[in-house]
Amino acid sequence: MAVCIAVIAKENYPLYIRSVPVQNELKFHYTVHTSLDVVEEKISAVGKAMADQRELYLGLLYPTEDYKVYPSHMIIVYYTPVCMFFILIENILLYRHTRYGYVTNSKVKFVIVADSSNTSLRDNEIRSMFRKLHNSFTDVMCNPFYNPGDTIQSKAFDSMVSAMMVQAS
Amino acid sequence: MESLTLTDVEQKYYSDLFVYCDTDNTKKVASNGKVLDLFRAAQLPSEVVLQITELCGATRLGHFGRSQFYIALKLIAVAQSGLPLRVESLNSVKDLPLPRFVVAKNEQEARHTAMYPDLENQGPYQGVIPRPPGRGQVKKVSPDTTSPVVSPHQSPPTSPHAWRKHKRQASGGNVERPPVVVAGAVWTPFREAQSGPVVVGDGMWSAHSPPPVQESWVSLKDTYPPSSSKMIISICYFPLNVSLGSNEIQRQSSSGYDDPWKITDEQRQYYINQFKTIQPDLNGFIPGSAAKEFFTKSKLPILELSHIWELSDFDKDGALTLDEFCAAFHLVVARKNGYDLPEKLPESLMPKLIDLDDSAEVPDQAPDVGYSGSPVEVTPNKSPMPSLNQTWPDLNQGNEQWETFSERSSSSQTLTQFDSNIAPADPDTAIVHPVPIRMTPSKIHMQEMELKRTGSDHTHPTSPLMAKPPELSEETKLATSMKFVTANSGKCQGMFHYHKELRTIAVCRSNSGTSPEGLKVAAAPPPPPPRPNASHSRSSSLDMNRNFAAHPTGPQQSGVVACPPAIPPRPLPTQTSGPHSGHRSDEGLAAHSTTSPQQIPEQPNFADFSQFQAFAASDQPSDDGEKHPESLPVSQTYSIIQNLFYQLCSVIRKETETAKGSIMAPPPKPVRRRLKSEDELQDEALPPKSNVIATVLATLPSIPRSVGKDKKAIQASIRRNKETNTVLARLNSELQQQLKDLLEERISLEVQLEQLRPFSHL
C-alpha cells in the first residue's frame, strides 16, 4: 500500500525518496514536502523531549487527501493537411493518499504515503513499517562510509524499501 | 567454403575473437600477427594450424575474412577435440566445445616461444603486468610469491592476463591498450560459471600439458560472453586478481558460487596481520572510522566500500571484528580484482566464531572449548546469556552471542538441575532420574542459534552442539528463520516466558542485515510479568477458581497474558486425561511418550496416587473416546498436575494449620504455575477433578481436626502429606519437562508456520 516512502533529514531535505508509480514521482515529492509542515507542527506541539518510541510515530498526518493524478492519454489524433489536432483527454483519477509520519530522536523524519483505496492499512502495520525503516536507517548510519547528509544509497536499504512497497501494492 | 552454422555461443565467441584480431577494423584479418598467435595459443601443432588456415581458405585469400576466421576457429575446436580436420566436420560435429586458447604463464610463454620459433609476439607479454600500486597492503601482496594472496607461483597471475592480452591487444602486449574485456570478460564468466566450466575445462584440458591453473583459466573461455566486454577493471590490480581467482578456482573446483569467496589460509593470515596493524588484539574490534580509513586506501569508490561494509558488518555494530574484517578485506580484494560484489554476504565469509580451518583462530578455539566445559559448572539458571556474554566478551559480540547461545545451550542441556525438593527417599518411586529444572528459553535460544548456524551451513564448533541431546533436535528448524536476538535471551524466567521470547525473537531486530522473513521489529519487549501471571493467556477456569476459593487464587483469576503466540487450539482432551497423562508421565516421562493416555494405568509405584488411579480407572472409559493430538496437551497435564498440587497444597495447608507440623508445601510452585491451558479445560473435566480433590480429601480422613488430639496421627498424616508432596513435586517437575518439550515443539512449528506464511504485510 505504500506508494511512496521518504526519508527526510533534520534540515528538511530529502535523504531518500522512492515511490512506486514512478511517473508521478514529482507529485509524491510535493506531497511529502507538504506533509513536512504537518510533521513540524506535530513535533513542536509535543513540547519536551520524547524518549518513548511510541511518540516517534506521528500517525496519520492528514485524514485523507484527495490526490489527483493526471495521466494524459492521447486518444484522438486528428491530422489534417493543415494542422494536427491532438486531443488530450485527461483522466482524472482520484487516489486517496494517506500520509503517515514518524520522527526519530535525531529529527530525521520518515514519511510514508499510502494508498488508501485498497484495504486500509492497520495502524500496527504502519508502525512496523516505520520500525523497519528506522532499523534500516540505523544500519545505514552505522556504516562508516556513509556521511550523514548524503543521499542514502545502500542496497540493503533499497531492498528493504522495495519490499515494503511491493508488498503493499 | 561451405556455410558454417554456429551456435549462438559460438557466434558470439567467434565474433569477439574476430574483433580482437581485427585490429585494423577492416573486417579482415591478416594471416599473421594476432591470428597466428591465437591459433598457436590453441596449442595445436603448427602443421595443424597450417592445415586449418588452408582449409578455411585464408591461404587462398591471403587473409582471414570473417567467415574464414570463423571457420578456422571451428576447425581449431575440431582439432582440439581430437577429431580429424575436415571441411565436412565443420557442420557435422555437434556440440563441439568452443576452441580453447591456452593461457600461458610466463614460463609457458617462454615455452611457447621456444616451441614456435616464429613467435615473436609472446615475449613482450612477460613482465608486462604491472604490480598493484596504491594500497600498501595490496602492494605487499602481489610481488611476494609467498604472500597469501598470490598463488604459489607467480605465473598464474600473469597467465590469464597474458591470455587476455593475447586476445585483445596488439602483440606488443601493451598495457595501455584499454583492456576492455580483460579482467572483466574473464571474470564475469568466471564468476558465472564456476563449477561447471571449471570442471569441464579441467577435464578437457587434461590431455594438454598446461598447468591446472591455466586450465581453469582457460576453461573460462567456454563461457565467454561478449557482453562482458563492457566491464573495465583496473589493470593495476589484475595480478592480484588473477592470483586470487586462480587460487580459488584451484582450491574449490566443484562447489559453486560460494567457493570463490572462501578465504584461503594464506589470505586469512594476511588479513589477520593487517588486522593486527590496526588493532593488536585479535579479539577486539576495529572501530568504523579506522576501518573506513583503511579501506579507503584501497581506492575503491565510496559507494562500493559502503556496500562492502554493509555486507561484512554482520552484527551492525559499526565495528569490525576479526571475522568481519577478514570478510570485508576479502570482498575488497575481490572487488579490486573485478568480482562483482554479492548482494548478500557469501556463506564462507560469514563471521564464524570458530574457524576450524584457521590456525590463527586456534587460540580462540581454546576458550571455546573451555567454554563448553565450563558451562557445566555454571549454574544454568540465571540468565545464561549474560553470563555467557561476559565470558566471551572479546569475541565478536553479535556472532558470539550466537555462539554463546549454542555453547550455552549445550551447557544447559548437559546440565541437570536437581530439584532439591524431590526427596529421593521414596522407595516407591521408580523414577529417580534427575529432573532438569532449567527453563526453556536458554535452550530455545541455543537451539535457534544452532539452527541458524547449521542452517547457514557453517562449520561450527561442533562438539558442544553435536552433543545436543536428541530431544532438542526438533528445534533445529527453529533457527533457520529466526534471526537471533540477543537482548531478551537473558530473561529466562520461566517456561511461559518462552512465549514472549518467541515473539520477541521473531520480532526483534535480526542480527543479519537482511531479513527476508520480514521480521517485525518490536519495541522493547514487555518486561516479563511476574511469574504467577506470566503464563499464557489461557485463564484459569472458573471451576478451578471455584475449587480453590479458599486458596489464594489471585494469580489464577487474573487471566493473564503474556503475548502468547497464536497457537492452533488443541483439541482438548478432557481433564481426565490430565491425571492420566500426569500419572503416565511419571513413568512415561523418561521415555517422553506423551501421547497415549492409555499408558496411564500403571501407577503402581505411587501409593499415593492410588486414589487418583482409582479415579483414573473410573475415568478411563471416558478417556477412550478421546484422541489425543500428537502434540499432547502438556498444558492439560500440566494444568491437571497443577490442580493436583493446588489441591494437595490446600489440603496440606489446612492440615498444617490445624496440625503443628510444618509441611514443606511447595507454596511457590502452585502459585507460580499458572494453569496454562485452563481455557482448554472442558467443563466435563472438572467434575472428575473435583472428585479427585474430594478423594484426596477423603484420603486424609484420619486427620484429626483438633489440635493436639492425637499427635501421632497428626504426625503420620504430616508425613504422608510430605510424601505426597514430594511425589507431586516430582510429578510436577516431570510434567514441566514435558511441557518444555512440547513448548519447544510448538516453537518450531510456529517458526515453520512463520516461514511458510506468505508475507502479506510488513
Q: Within chain B, which residues score under 70 in pLDDT?
A: 1-6, 22-34, 58-64, 85-260, 351-638, 649, 652-708, 759-762
Does B759 contact A139 at a Cβ distance shorter than 8 Å? no
| H helical segments located in chain A | 25-46, 53-56, 123-142, 155-168
Interface list for chain A against chain B, based on CB atoms closer than 8 Å = 53-54, 121, 125, 128-129, 131-132, 134-135, 138-139, 142-146, 153-156, 159-160, 163-164, 167-168
Q: How far is A90 from chain B (nearest CA, A)?
A: 34
Q: Does ipTM exceed 0.95?
A: no
Q: Print the SS3 string covering B702-757.
A: CCCCCCCCCHHHHHHHHHHHHHHHHHHHHHHHHHHHHHHHHHHHHHHHHHHHHHHC
Does B288 contact A142 at a Cβ distance shorter than 8 Å? yes
> Angle CA(A108)–CA(A111)–CA(A117) in degrees, nearest 5?
170
Residue B4 in contact with partner chain A when CB distance is under 8 A: no
**What pLDDT, on the 0 to 100 scale, is given for residue B708?**
60
Contacts of B761 in chain A (CB under 8 A): 121, 125, 128, 167-168
Residue B288 in contact with partner chain A when CB distance is under 8 A: yes
**What pLDDT, on the 0 to 100 scale, is given for residue B383?**
41
Q: β-strand A93-103 against A65-69: which pairing, if any?
A: antiparallel
Q: How far is A1 from chain B (nearest CA, A)?
A: 9
Query: Out of A135, A143, A146, whose CB is closest to B509?
Result: A135
Q: CA-to-CA distance for B99 and B74, rounded, in angstroms? A: 7
Residue B758 in contact with partner chain A when CB distance is under 8 A: no
Contacts of B295 in chain A (CB under 8 A): 145
Does A138 contact B316 at a Cβ distance shorter than 8 Å? yes
**What pLDDT, on the 0 to 100 scale, is given for residue B228?**
39
Whether pLDDT at A10 is above 90: no
**What pLDDT, on the 0 to 100 scale, is given for residue B734?**
94
Query: B737 — phi, psi (to 5°)?
Result: -60, -45
- CA max distance for chain A: 71
CB B219 within 8 A of CB B202: yes
Question: Which of residues 334 through 373 in chain B touch A, CB cutoff 8 A?
Answer: 343
Q: CA-to-CA distance for B435 and B417, rounded, in angstroms? A: 6
Query: Out of A128, A142, A168, whose CB is closest to B313?
Result: A142
**What pLDDT, on the 0 to 100 scale, is given for residue A11?**
84
**What pLDDT, on the 0 to 100 scale, is given for residue B744?**
94
Does A145 contact B509 at a Cβ distance shorter than 8 Å? no
Does B309 contact A125 at a Cβ distance shorter than 8 Å? no
CB B449 within 8 A of CB B505: no
Would you say the C-alpha torsion B104, B105, B110, B115 has a positive or negative sign? negative
Q: How many CA atoms lie within 13 A of A87 on its CB side?
A: 6
Q: How far is A36 from chain B (nearest CA, A)?
A: 24
